[in-house]
Structure 1
Amino acid sequence: MGRFPTIGIGWLLCLVVALSGCGADNREIGLYVANTADGIDIKMRRYRPTSGYEFSDGTPVVLFPGITLNNNQFDVYSPPWLNSYHYKLPQDAPEWAKQDPVIQDDNLKFFSLAHYLYLRGYDVWMPNYRGVGRGDFDSEHGHGNSNLDVWCALDFPAAVDKVRSVTGKKPVIGGHSTGGLCGYLYLQGITMDAAVVAAGDYLPHVTSSPELAAERNANVAGYLALDPAGIPYYPYSWLLDSRAFFQALVQPVLVDLDSVLPWVLSLLPPVIVSGGIDLTFKLVTGLADAFPSYLPQWANVFGGLDFWRTANMNGYVEDFHARMVFSSFYMGVTAQYSDWAINGEFREHWRNGEENQDLINPPDRRTDDGYYYYQDHMSRMTAPAYSVFSDASGLVDTDTMVGILFEGKTHHPQDEWIEIPNSGHIDVVNGNQAPTVSYPAIADWLDAL
C-alpha cells in the first residue's frame, strides 16, 4: 500500500530494545492482530499480568486509547529497564492491593485499570489505532490522510469483531477520550467505503444505517468510556478560524511521536520528566482556577489547557505517561476536533468525499450538503452506557458531553455517569483516586450488567 508522508525518525524506534520496547519482551501477554476492511493490521493486547497467568474467561472489555496516547495508558507498570521506579503503596491502600502478588511485585500496578478489571474477573483488550503503538503493538500505518472517521469507522469495528470471534462473547466497548468517541459512533452504525480508503487518493463520506446500528447494539454488552470526547473547548476559537490555521491541519501526515519520544526521553531521568510536567500543569491549573469570573469564558486560555491535573497523579505515573504512553496521531484527527470546536458542528471531516478533497476551510452547514453529522444520529445508540468524567473542562466538558451522549442516546435504565472531583482529562484514567473511586465504580457497573 502506498504511504503519504510521515513526520518522525523511524530508524530510532528500535535503537535500543530496552529503551523503546521493540522486539521480544519477557512481559509478553497476548498479541492479537485485527485486520480492517481496508486491509490494515491493527495490534491488540489481551491482558494478563504475566505469561504465567491465564487469560480471563469473563466478559470482554475493549478499551481504545485517546488521541496522542497508546494502549499502555490502561496498564501502568514499572518499566523493568528503568531502575529508578521504587513506588511504595500508601499505608491506607485497600486490602485487595496489599494482598495481590502482582502489585506486591510492582506497586505501580496499583494504577493499572486493566489489572484491576482482571482481578474483578474481566477480559480486558487494548487495541491501538492505525499509526499508533510501540514495538510489537505498533499498528500498521496506512495512508497519512487518515482521520477520526477512519479510526472509528474501520479500526474500531475490526477490533470488536476480533474480540467477539476469539471469545465468542458480547464485549463491553469504549475507551478513553477518542476511544469513547469511537465507541458511541460505532453504536450509531457508521461505516466508510473501505476500497476508497485503501486507494488513498481521498477519503469517502461516512455513512450509517439504523439496521447496522441495531445489530451492533445487540451484539455488545455495554458501553464504557472515560471522559469520552466530542466537541472540545478552544479559547479564542474565532481567532483560529482562518485559512492559515486550517491549511496546516489538512496536511496528510502522521505525526510519528513513537519514533522520537523513546530516544529523547531515554536521555532524561524520571525526576526531570515528571518534575517538568508537574510544574507546568500545576501552573496551568492555578491560572485556570484564578481566571476572573466576570470575563467571558472564551477568553480563558488556561482553562482550555487545563487537561492534566498533576496534583491528582503520582509522579511515577506522570513519568510513565511521558515515556510509554504518549503516541502518534494523524493531522486529520486534530483537524476534525478543531472544526468541531471552532464551528460547533459535530460531523465527519470536511474533506471527506471526492468533491471536497481540496477544501481548506470547513464550510458552514447547509441543507443536503452531503456531510454526515454525528449529532443527528445519537438516538441509534441503545446499549447501556457508563462514563467517568473529569472535573476540569479542558478538552472535555462534562455538561457538553452529557448533553451529546447521555441525552442524545436512547435511554437505558442502566445508563450512569460520575464526575471525579479535582481531576483532569489525562489523569482521570489513572490518577490518585482511580484505584479507590473510579475503578471500583466501573467494575460495580460491569457486575450489574
Structure 2
Amino acid sequence: MKIIKISGTAMLVCFVFLITGCGGAGVEGLYNATTADGVKIGMKRYRPTPRHSYRSGMPILLANGITMNNNQWDTYSPPWLNSYHYELPSNAPAWARNDPTIRDDNLKYFSMAHYLYLRGYDVWMMNYRGVGRDDYASEDGHGNTDLDVWCALDFPAAVDKVRAVTGKKPVIGGHSTGGLCAYLYLQGITMDANVVKAGEYLPHVTSSAALAAQRNANVSGFVGVDPAGSPILAYEWLIDNALIFDILALEVLIDLDAIMPWVLSLVPPAITSGAVNLVFTIIGNLADAFPSYLPHWADLFGALDFWSVENMDPYAEDFVARIALSSFYLGGIAQYADWGINGEFREHWQNGQENANRVVPPGRTPGDGYYYFNDYMSRMTVPAFSVFSSHSGLVDTATMVDTIYNGKTYNSKDAWIEVPNSGHVDIVNGNSAPTISFPAIADWMDSL
C-alpha cells in the first residue's frame, strides 16, 4: 500500500485554496458537475486572478460550440508562449484602456468572460463530456455520444451546479451548439440516463411541458451567440449516401485536446494565424464571387464561409487554434449533416433501439418516433437575446431567427442583433466583439 504524506505547508495551501474559492485540487475556479448518467463534467467560474473575488451579480452559464472548449470564452496570452505582443487599438474603449487586467495582458480585451465580469456578472463556463483540457476537462462518455446527450444530460447538470452554488437564477446560453443546448433545455428535453449509461444504444429524446415550465422558471434568460440549428449546406447529394453517413455514424471521439497541444507546440503563432488567414480569405473571396443566379446548393464556399479573418486579430486566431479548438464526437457532426440535408430539426436518427443500426437518416413520416425540436419551441418562455454573424456559413440568421424568435413564446424583452462583416467563429472574440457584441449582451442582461 502506498502512503501519501501531506506536509503542514501543503495543508495550509489546501486551506487557502478552500477559503478563496478555488476549485477541486486547488485549481483556480474549477467546479465539477455530475450528470444523471454519472459522468463528471468540468466547469470554470471566472475571476481575473485568485486575488479577485467572484462576482455576486446575476450568474451566466456559457456553453461552447462544437469543436471548441470553454477557453473560447476567455481569450488570453498563454504564459508559456512569450511571442504574444498584441497591443490595444488606439481607439479602444476607455473600459479596456483603464482596466489593470487588460493592461497586464492586452489579449484579455477579447475575453467575453472578462468583460461580463467587469460588468458585475458571475460568469461560468462549462465543458461537455469528452471536451476540455487539463484540470477543466470533462470525463469521456461512450463513443456513441451525440448532441442530444450533451444537451439533455450535460447541460442540465451544469445549470443545476450554478444554481446550487450561487442560489440564483442564471442566464443560460452559449455559442453555436451551446446556444442549441440552452434552448433545448428550455423546452424540457431529457433522455433515459440508465440507457445512456449502459452504452449499448441511445434512447429517444423526450420532453415534458411540466419540466419545461420548471426550467423556464428557474433561469433568468437566454443568450445565444450565433446559436445553432439547421445549417445551410451545399452539394447535399454528395453527402446524402450510405457511405458518407456510415462514416459519420461511427461511434468515435475525435480527441483534439490530446493532439493539438503537441502539434501546435511545434508551430509559432505567425504560422498558425497565417494559415488560418490564407484559407479563409480564399474561401471568403470565392463565396463573395458566387453568381447569384445559381442555386444555393452549388455554393460550396458560401457554406464554408464561417470565419471572417478580417474581423479577428492574428493572435486571437492563434489562441482559438492553439487553445480553444477541442474534441468532439462524430455523432454531433452527423446530426448537423442530417439537419442540413433533410431539412428536419430533430434528434439523432439512430436514437431508439429500433434505429440503432439504421445508416441513412430517413425523411419525416407521421408516427416515426423521432423527437422534432421545432415542434416544441413554444415551451421556451424566458427573455431571449442573440448575437448573429452576418455570414451564413454554419448558422444563417434568417433561419435561426425563425426557429427561435418565431418559435418561442413571445417575451417583451426578446431581441437580437447581427454584427456586420462577421463569421461564425470570430463572432465570439473577433475585433468587433468588445465594441458591439459584449456591450450588447451586458446591456440586455442589465435590462433583466
Taking structure 2 as the reference length, the TM-score comes to 0.94
| 1:211 corresponding residue in structure 2 | 210
Please give the residue correspondences for 1:25-424 in structure 2 after superposition, counting only pairs within 5 Å: 28-424=27-423
Deviation of the 1:108 alpha carbon: 0.5
- Where does residue 448 of structure 1 map in the other structure? 447
Residues 429-448 of structure 1 aligned to structure 2 (within 5 Å): 429-448=428-447
Q: Distance in 2 between matches of 1:442 and 1:427?
A: 16
Shift of 1:153: 0.1
Report the Cα offset of residue 28 of structure 1: 4.7
Q: CA deviation at 1:296?
A: 1.1
Deviations 1:299-354 (A, max 9, x none): 00100110000000000000000000100000110111110001011000011111
Tell me how far apart the structure 1 counterparts of residues 137 and 437 of structure 2 sit (CA, whole Å): 29
Q: In structure 2, what residue type is equivalent to 1:113?
A: M
Stretches of structure 1 that go unaligned for 5 or more consecutive residues are 1-23
- Which whole-Å deviations, capped at 9, do the CAs of 1:252-290 have from their partners, x for residues lacking one? 110001110000000000000001101110111111011
Moved over 2 A (4+): none
Q: Distance in 1 between matches of 2:333 and 2:280?
A: 21
CA contact (8 A) 2:27 2:135 kept: no
> How many Å apart are 1:297 and its aligned residue?
1.4
Structure 2 unaligned blocks of 5 or more: 1-22
- Given that 1:306 and 1:392 are in contact with CA atoms closer than 8 Å, whether structure 2 keeps it comes out as yes
Preserved contact between residue 87 and residue 108 of structure 1 (Cα < 8 Å): yes
> Matched residues in 2 for 1:249 and 1:88: separation?
42
Is the Cα contact below 8 Å between 1:28 and 1:51 reproduced in 2? no
Match of 1:16 in 2: none
SS at match of 2:102: helix
Q: CA deviation at 1:240?
A: 1.2
* Letter matched to residue 191 of structure 2: M
Q: Deviations over 1:234-255 (max 9, x none)?
A: 1011221100010001111100
SS in 1 for 2:173: strand
Q: 2 CA distance for matches of 1:142 and 1:390? A: 32
Q: 1:108-149 CA distances to partner (integer Å, 9 max, x unpaired)?
A: 000000000000000000000000000001100020100000
Once the two structures are TM-superposed, the CA of residue 295 in structure 1 deviates from its matched residue by 1.0
Aligned length: 426
Contact persistence 2:131–2:138 (CA under 8 A): yes
Farther-moved stretch of structure 1 (31-40 vs 235-244): 235-244
Name the CA distance, whole Å, in 2 between partners of 1:437 and 1:340: 30
String of CA shifts for 1:428-447, please: whole Å, max 9, x gaps.
01110110111111100000
Alignment match, 1:13: none
Letter in 2 for 1:117: L
Shift of 1:363: 1.2
Alignment deviations for residues 206-231 of structure 1 (CA, whole Å, 9 cap, x no partner): 00010000000010000001000000
Q: Which amino acid aligns with 1:358?
A: N
**Over residues 363-409 of structure 1, what are the superposed CA-to-partner deviations in whole Å (9 max), with x where a residue is unaligned?**
11111111100010000000000000000000000000000011000
CA apart distance, 1:103: 0.3
TM-score, L = length of structure 1 = 0.94
CA, structure 1 residues 28+85, in 2 after alignment: closer, same or farther (shift >3 Å)? farther
Return the alpha-carbon distance in structure 1 between the equivalents of residues 419 and 234 of structure 2.
23
For residue 29 of structure 1, report the CA deviation from its aligned partner. 2.9
Contact 1:313 1:427 in 2 (8 A): yes
1:174–1:183 contact (8 Å) kept in structure 2: yes
Question: Contact 2:96–2:109 at 8 Å: present in 1 too?
Answer: yes
Alpha-carbon RMSD? 1.3
